[in-house]
Amino acid sequence: MSDATTTDLYEVTMTLSYLREGLTRPATFSLFVRDVPADRGFLVAAGLEPVLDYLSGFRVDADDVEVFAAALDRPSEDAEPLLGLAFTGDVRAVPEGRVVLAGEPLLEVTAPLPQAQLVESYVLNQINHQTTIASKCARCVMAADGHPVVDFSLRRTHGTEAGYQAARLGAMVGFAGTSNVSAAYAEGPAVGTMAHSYIEAFGTEEQAFRAFARTHPGPVTFLVDTYDTERGVATAGRVLKDLGLGPGCAVRLDSGDLGTLAVRSRRILDGAGLNEVRIVAGGGLDEFAVDRLVRSGAPIDRYAVGTKAGVSADAPYLDSAYKLVEYDGRPVMKLSSAKVTAPGREQVFRRPGYADIIGLLDEPPPPGGEPLLKTVMRRGRRAQSGNRRSRLDDARSRFADDLAALPDDARRIASPVAPKAVLSQPLTELADRVRHHIETDVLAGTR
Amino acid sequence: MSDATTTDLYEVTMTLSYLREGLTRPATFSLFVRDVPADRGFLVAAGLEPVLDYLSGFRVDADDVEVFAAALDRPSEDAEPLLGLAFTGDVRAVPEGRVVLAGEPLLEVTAPLPQAQLVESYVLNQINHQTTIASKCARCVMAADGHPVVDFSLRRTHGTEAGYQAARLGAMVGFAGTSNVSAAYAEGPAVGTMAHSYIEAFGTEEQAFRAFARTHPGPVTFLVDTYDTERGVATAGRVLKDLGLGPGCAVRLDSGDLGTLAVRSRRILDGAGLNEVRIVAGGGLDEFAVDRLVRSGAPIDRYAVGTKAGVSADAPYLDSAYKLVEYDGRPVMKLSSAKVTAPGREQVFRRPGYADIIGLLDEPPPPGGEPLLKTVMRRGRRAQSGNRRSRLDDARSRFADDLAALPDDARRIASPVAPKAVLSQPLTELADRVRHHIETDVLAGTR
């Protein structure tokens, strides 16, 4: 079966009904995040790359029809109308790496209704997850304040696909590397040295360190906290001096009070004349812990973040939605409590200081307003240039630029304040008109 | 490249060193969870199925060697010693679906050291993630207190692999179905009806409901909260009566105050003589919300849980470890602060009331103690019987049995108290001996 079956059953039941009823005119769905989580001052748009891969290859094959029919618990012929359904629509989106705010469309899909509906689950899944993780990783980079940050999250992400994405998204927001071998192959440099098991297998740290240097000539990093951190640092220093190593080498702290241990480790290394040997620290770090260490002046040169970044532990999901905003030229919205959505095809206009305006696609941009959504797919084909790697590089530059322009309040690690986008006058008026229409005409018959 | 490259770089650097130094004797690694998260009274062992798939197919091929060399930033020949490395070891594990406690090994891998090391990242990733999610889903089932629970999480899980697993793990702990089509195909029944977009595309609820029933003969579920929930229920009721439908049909509430709306919906349906039409509720639910609704007596017949279960929102990871406990017959442990681990190959003996004892593999079981770890792989081949589906059914039965035997404190939704396993006398004595050996012999030279 193809990726087309990675969907929710209701997409299938609805799509079959649209086809049967002839509801195949163009529809626009808008994907946005309702609120920014408590400890986030902004979000980083991400997930578009796999979404465009998915949409450009989307096609329901005969095996998929069998799977759909089985899920419906109906004979195959009942799912036959889906056979051959491909994605031939357009996608406008905020490019990966850009900073986005609550309520702003990250992506709008315009396609014949059955197509635009059937792809919902996958598109939401990817954008939601990846925007969540990129936004968390961005804060780790900010907290490190210029010190390199690397990704060690693979062992605790939600599966290996999520591990791969954590590495890619870290690279997007400025991580210096990842421990994840397959992700590093595609997305950026790999980093890593040894685990406690390595020391224990040899028995003593000295034997282990010497063996490691034999296998891996050149700069090495020694893990020093298997038995007693300060003794471990002393042993590492002795072996490094003995082998004539120093520049490019490091010791790694993986547990305990990292700030205190870093100070003591630095003292031991400097005392041995190993001023050029760096200190890498990790173990349960997130942006809050990195921020505390950096602000305390801990002599840590490089930070490894893992679990808490890789799963965005304090906010592991976003309140995102993929909402129908227009069908066959008619703007639509829902009214049920607490989830009112704006109708119509939209554009986000960014003005200096993140005074963003969410407006209608066809309204004139406000003075100084930069439109954020670009056309990234036309009639089912990517409208982007470059290859994966160059697109990731572009995303990294975009994030660096957007981060530099962020207000201080939004950049804070503790209690950040996210800028709020406002709705344009034309969009507000359209929402009022559509609401009035629903209340007076659509619901009239049900009073 | 194969799954072998889904690993951390340090597994590769260590493995190359083991091979070069001749450290290829059998090693045992033990995977356990250090602590149970705050709002968990127990954990549900999960992730073994994909781990055994991975290990039985593990083999480093020529492409993998290229990827490893690239990650090491070294010529291919430096990674050549890894070519052809396959997994030929044994695995003992707690079968999926069993309840486990902090400190208890979920899995022990015994294999030549290079093999047992290289597979670490993948094994940890799968067991950690899946045990996390299964444990969360289990609480949703408990909170629902006999009402069916279904999985709607695909759109918010960390990628589609995680979405698939959420469906499988929900089925393992007793969910009645999943919205995820591809997962349902392999693991259990699919459920789902329509989204708000479906209503909006038609314009009015009545048109949408009638069209849905035309496409899907038989029992239907109508989403009633697109514009105004109570009017939506009334419209749904009118269409159902008109079509002569009732038994097996339902209305779905997706937002708002679900308890109050369910009471009002029930009244409207009963008033229309539709006593057999059920009420399904979802929208941001977790076990705490389900528990409140159930205890308030809300007339909700079926609960849909999504995001918060699918990402285990309040505890999205476990503090798990894959620790070397024995190399070439020699028990090992680490001593660094706060992460001391017990040495040696272990067994968990479950006594009535979850008075578990963690002991050594070769010690006699205590009276009434049931050994939890079973041999599930021998010399690289599965020792399990059955197929995926029958193994999932077995896991479901195991969980049901273990849940029934859990102490009340551990079953509580609010502030549960997890039972604590104790270490056996022989294991405690071994840990003392190994610690003494490290302190007097291993560290002696570094004083």
Secondary structure of B206-221 as H, E, C letters: HHHHHHHHHHCCCCCE
- Copy the structure tokens of residue B33: 């969870």
Chain A partners within 8 Å of B215 (Cβ) = 13, 16-17, 20-21
Residue B359 phi/psi, 5-degree rounding, is -130, -175
- Copy the structure tokens of residue A172: 């997007």
The DSSP bridge partners found for residue B190 are: B178
pLDDT tens figures, B223-258: 999 999 999 999 999 999 999 999 999 999 999 999
| Residue B166 near residue A166, CB atoms below 8 Å | no
For A143-310, CATH number out of 3.90.1150.10, 3.20.20.70, 3.30.930.10, 2.60.34.10 equals 3.20.20.70
Check whether B66 has a pLDDT greater than 70: yes
Pairwise pLDDT comparison (B384 vs B100), residue with the higher score = B100
Distance from CA of B7 to the nearest CA of A (A): 6
Give residue B185's pLDDT band: very low, low, confident or very high (50, 70, 90).
confident
Q: Say yes or no for a CB contact (<8 Å) between B317 and A337.
A: no
| Residue A360 near residue A426, CB atoms below 8 Å | yes
Measured distance CA(B209)–CA(B221) in Å, rounded: 9
C-alpha pair distances (Å), B305 with each of B191, B277, B290, B298, B302: 12, 21, 9, 16, 10
What is the residue type of A312? S
Give residue A384's pLDDT band: very low, low, confident or very high (50, 70, 90).
confident
Measured distance CA(A4)–CA(A26) in Å, rounded: 20
Q: Say yes or no for a CB contact (<8 Å) between B7 and A181.
A: yes
User: Which of A53-67, A265-279, A376-390 is least confident?
Assistant: A376-390
Longest dimension (CA), chain B: 88
Q: Say yes or no for a CB contact (<8 Å) between B5 and A333.
A: no
Q: What is the pLDDT of residue B439?
A: 84
Check whether A445 has a pLDDT greater than 70: no
pLDDT tens figures, A276-332: 999 999 999 999 999 999 999 999 999 999 999 999 999 999 999 999 999 999 998
Q: What is the pLDDT of residue B340?
A: 58
Measured distance CA(A110)–CA(A89) in Å, rounded: 6
Under DSSP, the state recorded for B176 is -
Measured distance CA(A66)–CA(A52) in Å, rounded: 25
Check whether B447 has a pLDDT greater than 50: no
Measured distance CA(B317)–CA(B261) in Å, rounded: 34
pLDDT tens figures, A191-220: 998 999 999 999 899 999 999 999 999 899
Mean pLDDT confidence for B26-31: 97
| Maximum average pLDDT range among A267-276, A385-394, B180-189 | A267-276
Q: Say yes or no for a CB contact (<8 Å) between A156 and B122.
A: no
Under DSSP, the state recorded for B97 is T
- CA trace torsion B162, B164, B170, B174 (10° rounding): -160
What is the residue type of B355? A
Chain B partners within 8 Å of A67 (Cβ) = 181-182, 185
What is the residue type of A294? V
What is the residue type of B192? G
Q: What is the pLDDT of residue A336?
A: 63
Mean pLDDT confidence for A391-408: 97
The DSSP bridge partners found for residue A422 are: A357
Under DSSP, the state recorded for B10 is H
Q: What is the pLDDT of residue B353?
A: 95
Domain A3-133+315-446, CATH: 3.20.140.10
Measured distance CA(A294)–CA(B202) in Å, rounded: 56
CA B397 to centroid of chain Cα atoms: 15
Q: What is the pTM of this model?
A: 0.97
Distance from CA of A118 to the nearest CA of B (A): 11
Q: What is the pLDDT of residue A447?
A: 44
Pairwise pLDDT comparison (B384 vs A242), residue with the higher score = A242
Mean pLDDT confidence for B183-205: 91
Mean pLDDT confidence for B148-157: 98
Mean pLDDT confidence for B49-65: 97
**In chain A, where the domains are located:** 3-133+315-446, 143-310
Check whether A337 has a pLDDT greater than 60: no
Mean pLDDT of chain A: 95
Q: Say yes or no for a CB contact (<8 Å) between A235 and B337.
A: no
User: Which of A148-157, A396-405, A430-439, B408-417 is least confident?
Assistant: A430-439
Q: Considering the domain delimited by B142-310, tell me its CATH architecture.
A: Alpha-Beta Barrel (3.20)
Q: What is the pLDDT of residue A109?
A: 98
Q: What is the pLDDT of residue A340?
A: 58
Q: Say yes or no for a CB contact (<8 Å) between B126 and A191.
A: no
Chain B partners within 8 Å of A81 (Cβ) = none
User: Which of A183-192, B141-150, B371-380 is least confident?
Assistant: A183-192
Chain A partners within 8 Å of B338 (Cβ) = 255-256
Check whether A358 has a pLDDT greater than 70: yes
Give residue A394's pLDDT band: very low, low, confident or very high (50, 70, 90).
very high
**B8, B159, B184 ranked by CB distance to A162: nearest:** B159
Mean pLDDT confidence for A361-376: 96
Check whether B182 has a pLDDT greater than 80: yes
Assigned fold of B3-133+317-446:
nicotinate phosphoribosyltransferase (3.20.140)
User: Among candidates B30, B95, B176, which has minimal Cα distance to B390?
Assistant: B95
Q: Say yes or no for a CB contact (<8 Å) between B71 and A442.
A: no
Q: Say yes or no for a CB contact (<8 Å) between A198 and B14.
A: yes
Check whether B445 has a pLDDT greater than 70: no
End-to-end CA, chain A: 46
The DSSP bridge partners found for residue A107 are: A31, A93
| Residue B308 near residue B284, CB atoms below 8 Å | yes
Measured distance CA(A215)–CA(A438) in Å, rounded: 72
Q: What is the pLDDT of residue A188?
A: 77
Distance from CA of B160 to the nearest CA of A (A): 7
Check whether A159 has a pLDDT greater than 90: yes
Mean pLDDT confidence for A243-253: 95
Measured distance CA(B368)–CA(A227) in Å, rounded: 37
